[in-house]
Structure 1
Amino acid sequence: MTTFLRTPIIDAPSRFFASGAHDDIRYVHDPLTGLTHRADQLIPLGRSRLPGSEVETWPVIHPSDLNRPAPVSVCWSPLVRCNLACPHCLDDKAVTELNRSERTRIARLLGESDVLAVDISGGEPLLLRELAELVEILTARGCAVSVTTNGWHLQRRAEGLAGVVDAIRISLDGPDDSSHDRWRGRGSFRRATAGIRAAVALGIPTQLQTVLMASTRDSAQRMVDLAAELGTHGVTFLQMLPIGDGAALAPAEQLTDEQAQATIDALDLPEGIAVRLRTRQSAGGFTVIRADGRVWRNDAAGEHISILHPLTSPADLALTAQDGSA
């Protein structure tokens, strides 16, 4: 099953994407949605501005179909620290964080690799004072960069990220205070939505993302409506992965990919709102750089970790036929 995207075609300003070519195929990775599109025209390679509404009409391609030697995109979690304690968190809390100079080394190494895009996550990345510096190291080397955050500190950090980061993804678990705060803690919805409004006002491409679970699927339509109300690009619905803390919730909360797809199919999309479903299968082979500088790659089913080794050179990101690519 492939990643599913529904989006109306409307005019939109250009924004930054990362483009590559392999085996005569040109493709574009979108740091906002996390999707990779097959280009239907000649485009500049590397990080460049493209019209978003046009790119979104191009066919979605799973990176594993590109036979690249390295992932198209990776998630980098440079810290474990977080101001919230979400019960469905994927992170291994026992991981030791590298120091600031080592984080800079990892950023430079990723920028020198064949990776096109980096999503900086956590932990909570907005706790990093040098976050903008790390982003600039990556973008200066041609990577498109997104930041995934719980939004608690986004209102105060947004101005410093405007014009620096290519996209911001904010994690929400419900469309209102009661439903979201149940998972993330009191006041977290108010803080997150204030941050979203600040990011949108500053012109930062902004996307909501939410973990799709048995207890949250009935609020999917309201989440899409909230995305429109806040002025964001849309919503990415993530099938929960039974990894980390999420493993304990999986028996009660995990949906099948077919149930998740049916939920998305039933949505009524407001004008200009894009929706993506990331199934577990489409998360297979995805690469994460942990806070200790080690490479974590999901297995093909997106349910277990298949490799774990130190990242010391771009060669450590190399894919094998068994790994796939995401």
Structure 2
Amino acid sequence: MSNLKQVKLGSQGLIVPTIGLGCMGMTEMMGKPVYGKSDEKEAISTIHRSFELGGNFLDTADLYGPFRNEQLISKAIEGKRGQYIIATKFGFGFDDNGQSIGRINGSRNYVKKAAERSLKNLNTDYIDLYYLHRLDRNTPIEETVEAMAELVKEGKVRYIGLSEVGSETIRRAHNIHPLTAVQTEYSLFERQVEELSILETLKELGIGFVAYSPLGRGFISGEIQHPEDIPADDFRRYLPRFQGEQFYKNIELLDEVKRMAREKQVTPSQLAIAWVIAKGHVPIPGTKRVKYVEQNIAAANMELSAEDVARLEAIIPLGTETGDRYADMKDVNL
């Protein structure tokens, strides 16, 4: 493995590389491709290449597929389980056939059921980092975290985390069992965790922050120049960032990021990843192609100065309207 720097994620003992690999796009979700068509062979090659470069921190969820993404990872890491750090998530309600049984379920019984299913799909006897994917409004967070804590005691889960939650929920959960990480969308184009002081809460409590979609769901790559470039069955068509007048305003901002990237002789994506790392967080850019995982990991070895960070943030100042990260924001920041 390479000399990719290792960092503490939170204060509970988990050590990870400075960059992880988001695996969502490697399989279809609900029968539809995510970020374009996927190919199992190329996806597995991407996981293996990431590992060769030191990137052994993989992020998945039972939602992805459902279940097929975890099964793909199981196949990719066969014989080397102990050399990978696997993060998965639960919360969206499914039966064992992958049929939806309600939107979000954080009840004690479902936590246990979902964990056993993920262990089976991953073909492992432990999960390194287990997240609640979204907050269940109908179940107190204390009940959910108590059940997750029991999994830790049983040795089935090593560390726990939450995804897309607000400061009050984080504090209540952390009082029940120490959280290792919170995961939320975060990029140059999405900084609500700063605006809502969520990052301050995490720093105060010693909880790590994992940034998903650090490339703005592919927007920062610059490959999408018009909303029509997005395939008809791609969910990004429904995200405000990619719609109408807002899309073209964002393109103008991206052009300035591209200019800075050219000066540094890197890609805009690499610059965006390096920015997240310079902020002290762990990005998990998603890809299913070897070429891009190589580029992303190379970005983890870039060093941005304080002046570089300030310049990027001057291009897209905190509070700039870039479009909500979901068409319906009711299930995030809770």
TM-score (norm 1): 0.44
Specify which structure has the higher proportion of strand.
Answer: 1
Specify which structure has the higher proportion of helix.
Answer: 2
